[in-house]
């Protein structure tokens, strides 16, 4: 699903965000990326989503070569990914259901299935009763769940969640991680960045990547079945 060889990322101001990243993520794998702030976790996710391009090395995500010349194909890549953004990026003035449906409107999903998929996804995250609530009337945790529902309703082959446990207490953070893990299957990989190392220590079937000052070290590989 993801193949990175010697990937580097340097921002125009000269900041070297990533150095010589070597990584392979396979279908069915759950990977936690952890490390201190500024270690390069979010930069790595940006590369995976085609929001940045490697300044050196080679990166393939879902068969798509990520480089500046391929910018026009990035849209196709992003349509196969289910992103959960750190700040949720929900559209204000719209209901939870509308937000989830919006993530599917431009995919090749039959129009009749869009509402059904969105409703099912919201049921899975426990927001059956809040489907028609405006997102600005939902709590932090509920918004987090809407963002997850929006990502999974798209039936993506890769789920990328950026700091989904940030600002949550331990119990809620565990619930969110459990929820994300529930969408793991043999054809789908999940990548989650988190500060909360204490929450993932016990997860022996999950991959673990430690980031530090733009470099990475792979601690564990965790593939289903």
Partner 1 sequence: MKNILFNTGYFIKETKTIIRMNLLSNILSFLSIGLIFFILAMMISGWWISNQVVLAIQEEAEISIYFSDDLDAAGADRLVKEIKNIEGVYEARLISEEEAYSRMEKILGKEAHVLEYLDENPFSSFIEAKIQIEDIGLILKKLDLIAGIEHVRDNREVLERILGISQTIKMLGYLIITAAGISTTVIISHIIRTGIYDCREQINTLRLMGAPEAFISIPFMLEGLLLTLGGGVLSSALAAYTLKYLYTKAAGPIAFIPFPPLEALASNLVMLIMLLSAALGAVGVLFGLSSARS
Contact indicator for 164, 144 with CB cutoff of 8 Å: yes
Three-state DSSP class for residue 62: coil
Distance CA 64, CA 48 (A): 10
**CA separation for the pair 181, 176 (Å, rounded):** 9
Q: Residue 17, exposed/middle/buried by CB under 10 A (0-12, 13-18, 19+)?
A: buried
Tokens representing residue 102 in the block? 């919006």
Shortest spacing between CB 29 and partner 1, in angstroms: 22
User: Distance between CA atoms of 124 and 114, rounded to whole angstroms?
Assistant: 15
Q: Which is nearer to partner 1, 16 or 60 (CB)?
A: 60
| Cβ nearer to partner 1, comparing 24 with 133 | 133
Give the angle 73-85-66 at the CA atoms, nearest 5°.
25
Residue 40 or 82: which CB sits closer to partner 1?
Answer: 82
| Of 84 and 209, CB closest to partner 1 | 84
How far apart are CB 95 and partner 1 at their closest, in Å? Answer: 12
Residue 69, Cβ neighbours under 10 Å: how many? 8
Supply the minimum distance, in Å, between the C-beta of residue 74 and partner 1. Answer: 8
List of E strands, 163-214: 189-194, 207-212
For the CB of residue 161, give the shortest distance to partner 1 in the complex, in Å: 13
The contact set with partner 1 (CB under 8 A) reads 49, 51, 74-81, 83, 85, 89, 91, 93, 102-103, 105-108, 111, 154
Regarding beta strands 215-220 and 64-65, do their DSSP bridges make them parallel or antiparallel, or are they unpaired? Answer: unpaired
Comparing CB distances to partner 1, the nearer of 76 and 213 is 76
Smallest distance from the beta carbon of 203 to partner 1, in angstroms? 27
Half-sphere exposure (Cβ direction) of 39: Cα atoms closer than 13 Å: 16
Tell me whether residue 14 or residue 93 sits nearer to partner 1 (CB atom): 93
Shortest Cβ distance from residue 87 to partner 1 (Å)? 9
Q: How far is the CB of 172 from partner 1 (least distance, A)?
A: 24
Nearer to partner 1, 19 or 78 (CB): 78
Instruction: Measure CA of the first residue to CA of the last residue in the chain; give whole Å.
Output: 17
């Amino acid at each position: 699903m993801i193949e990175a060889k010697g990937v580097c990322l340097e921002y125009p101001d000269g900041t070297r965000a990533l150095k010589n990243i070597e990584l392979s993520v396979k279908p069915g794998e759950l990977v936690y990326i952890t490390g201190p702030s500024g270690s390069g976790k979010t930069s790595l996710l940006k590369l995976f989503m085609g929001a940045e391009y490697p300044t050196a090395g080679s990166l393939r995500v879902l068969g798509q070569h990520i480089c500046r010349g391929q910018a026009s194909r990035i849209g196709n890549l992003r349509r196969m990914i289910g992103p959960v953004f750190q700040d949720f990026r929900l559209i204000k003035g719209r209901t939870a259901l509308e937000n989830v449906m919006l993530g599917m409107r431009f995919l090749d999903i039959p129009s009749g299935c869009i509402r059904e998929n969105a409703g099912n996804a919201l049921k899975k995250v426990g927001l059956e009763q809040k489907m028609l609530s405006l997102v600005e009337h939902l709590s932090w945790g509920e918004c987090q769940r809407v963002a997850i529902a929006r990502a999974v309703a798209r039936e993506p082959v890769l789920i990328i969640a950026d700091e989904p446990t940030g600002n949550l207490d331990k119990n809620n953070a565990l619930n969110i991680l459990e929820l994300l893990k529930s969408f793991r299957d043999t054809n789908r990989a999940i990548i989650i960045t988190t500060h909360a190392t204490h929450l993932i220590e016990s997860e022996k079937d999950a991959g673990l990547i430690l980031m530090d000052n733009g470099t990475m070290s792979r601690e564990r590989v965790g593939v289903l079945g």
